[in-house]
Amino acid sequence: MIHVAVIAREKSWFDQIITQIPSLPISFRWFENCSVFFKNQELEDWQLIYLISDRFDLLQEELVQVKEQIPEIPVLCTVPKLRQSQRQLLHQLGAKEVFPWPVTRQEMKYFFKSYPEFFIAKAEEDQYDFIGQLDFVDGVELLRSFCTKENTGILTFNWDERNGRIEIQNGQIVHAAYRQLDPLTSVLVLTSWHHGQVSFKEESFISKRTIMLTNKQIFDECLQYRQEREHLLQAFPPEEVKLFTHPDLNFEDFGPSERSWLYKMYKGRTILELRDLYEGDFNFMLKKLKLWLEKQYIIPEEEYHSIRAKKEAEMSTSGLTRLFRKILKSEQKEKEKETSKEQPPVQKKLPYLFASFENLQIFKSMVEES
């Protein structure tokens, strides 16, 4: 495992970075500034240093300090509103890679997978106190089991490209990070996962406390969060029933985020499939889905097929369909007329009107005289 020191004035910047890193063998530590980092430099054998700042001048000073003290360690830099001239200057000062802020998940994935030298296997293997699958472990009970006085460490959650962590100090939950959620909501979401891997490792360097509730209060919040989800799920059809967007729904009436989820249900999704697709606070999403269900923006599978069948029947007997058929018939008649014109006319024989040839001659002479 490689060890990365993240030097950032704001702890929230560090949290945003670590929750976007793909599931790779990387261990991160946060340091508030270069002075704190240099005092604790011996904690790990650092393979990478990551500098984050909201000001270019401060980032430049920190980069110079780091390269003077430990020039052999590669340094990443991140700063908002980055200009090309600033990027070139940071590279000249020794930065290995420079990212504009905010850093996207794709950029982080690209970087960490582009430098295989960072992932050279170490002689010693990292030891975890616990590794398990959330398919077989209840997240809340697992967290409760690690909240003992002698435990200080980090409980890490990984599910595909989703990554979060809960930090424990002397048995007390002090901090959590997942996506852009606040620390307490991060605990509620992470412990509600039904899939993924969870691991615990003892760690002495823990973040500052951001969750001021006691463990009992936190677990009460977890219980209320689950009860709220169960109550919301009662408004939906059974788990195996798919939900579809209404056939008459106009997607342009919705914003980009809502429209993307409505498109996901265009061909039908069960509530469990939606739960696994949504990466944030699913209780929040359930409230939105419940509102859509009440307003008939989304409907159960049986109702959807019933509406589609009625619409198809109406279309088959509608005035528009009859007009279309009439147009086709008139076109067919026109074609028949055109083909008849192309054929030579057939002379019809008149019926025989004279009893004898003599009478015909008399009629002829009378016509000529007149």
Q: What is the pLDDT at residue 186?
A: 93
Give the count of domains, the chain.
Answer: 3
Q: Considering the domain boundaries, does residue 149 fall inside one? A: yes
For 250, the 3-state DSSP assignment is: coil
Same structural domain for residues 208 and 268? Answer: no
Mean pLDDT of the region 114-138: 64
pLDDT band at 1 (very low <50, low <70, confident <90, very high): low
Peptide bond into 22 cis (omega under 30): no
Q: In a 3-state reduction of DSSP, which class is residue 163?
A: strand
The mean pLDDT value of the chain amounts to: 82
What pLDDT shows up at residue 24?
A: 57
Assign 96 a pLDDT band (cuts: 50, 70, 90).
confident
The answer to whether residue 125 scores a pLDDT higher than 60 is no
pLDDT band at 353 (very low <50, low <70, confident <90, very high): low
At 338 the three-state DSSP class reads helix
Position 139 in a domain: yes
Give the pLDDT confidence score for residue 367 in this predicted structure: 73
Does a structural domain hold residue 359? no
Q: Is residue 369 part of a domain?
A: no
Cβ atoms < 10 Å from Cβ of 90: 23
- Which of residues 63, 94, 119 is at a domain's end? 119
Residue 115, domain CATH: 3.40.50.2300
pLDDT band, residue 308 (cuts 50/70/90):
confident
Q: What integer pLDDT is reported at residue 121 of this predicted model?
A: 44
Residues 6+ away with beta carbon under 8 Å from 250: none
Q: Does the pLDDT value for residue 117 go beyond 70?
A: no
Adjacency order of strands within the sheet including 172-178: 130-133, 197-202, 153-159, 162-169, 172-178
Q: Are residues 14 and 90 in the same domain?
A: yes
How many CB atoms neighbour CB 253 within 10 A?
10
How does DSSP classify residue 196? S
Q: Are residues 150 and 81 in the same domain?
A: no
255 with 212, same domain: the answer is no
pLDDT of residue 221: 95
Based on the fold, state whether residues 63 and 115 are members of the same structural domain.
Answer: yes
188 and 104 share a domain? no
Q: What percent of the chain has pLDDT over 90?
A: 23
Any idea how long the chain is? 370
The per-residue pLDDT for 19 is: 67
351 domain-assigned: no
In this structure, the answer to whether residues 134 and 109 fall within a common structural domain is no
Q: What is the pLDDT of residue 356?
A: 67
- The highest-confidence range among 27-41, 154-168, 232-246, by mean pLDDT, is 232-246
Last residue of a domain, one of 206, 231, 256: 231
| Residue 171 DSSP SS3 | coil
* Residues forming beta bridges with residue 94, ordered by sequence position: none
The contacts of residue 144 (CB under 8 Å, 6+ apart) are 215, 219
pLDDT tens readout for residues 218-255: 999 999 999 999 999 999 999 899 999 998 888 888 88
Q: Are residues 223 and 136 in the same domain?
A: yes
Residues 249 and 321 in one domain: yes
Domain membership of residue 147 as a residue range = 130-231
| Residue 356 is assigned to a structural domain of this protein | no
Assigned domain for 155 exists: yes
Higher-scoring residue by pLDDT: 268, 335: 268
Identify whether residues 216 and 248 lie together within a single domain: no
- The domain boundary, picked from 231, 255, 290, lies at 231
Write down the pLDDT at residue 288.
Answer: 93
pTM recorded for the entire structure:
0.61
Quick one: 12 and 71 in the same domain? yes
Nearest to 23 by CA among 160, 167, 210: 160
What is the average pLDDT across 328-336? 74
> Does 347 reside within a domain?
no
Same domain, yes or no: 325 and 305? yes
